[in-house]
Amino acid sequence: MGNPPGTSSFTVEALSLQIEQNVNAQDYSLIIGAYQLDMVNGSIDSRTHNLAVGDLFGSYNYVIGGTADGFNMVNIPGSADTLGMGLSLDGSV
């Protein structure tokens, strides 16, 4: 049957910590305000580092890709006033 059509990706910029590179696909969850974006079986497609101001204040940028059938977005009830962001791997926050 082959791969499902379509792709999906997260581009996450300026993280203060690195995400551990894993050979196997993982589940990723990105929370932006009242929205949770989930990607099942995603992989890190690219990773860049900005250490212009040294290791202490370095930032890390990632593109995490997967297929469109593994992507889901939901509204988190009761969090409409939240402006926070977060990224989790395999369901951990």
pTM: 0.68
10-residue mean pLDDT profile of the chain (93 residues): values are 70 78 84 86 87 77 87 78 57 41
Q: Which of 18, 2, 12 is nearest to 37 (CA)?
A: 12
Provide the pLDDT for residue 4. Answer: 60
> Dihedral of the CA atoms 24, 69, 12, 93 (nearest 10)?
-70
User: Is there a contact between 54 and 74 (Cβ–Cβ < 8 Å)?
Assistant: no
Q: What is the pLDDT of residue 3?
A: 58
Measured from the Cβ of residue 10, the count of other Cβ atoms closer than 10 Å reads 19
Q: Taking Cα atoms as reference points, which of 62, 58, 59 lies closest to residue 47? A: 62
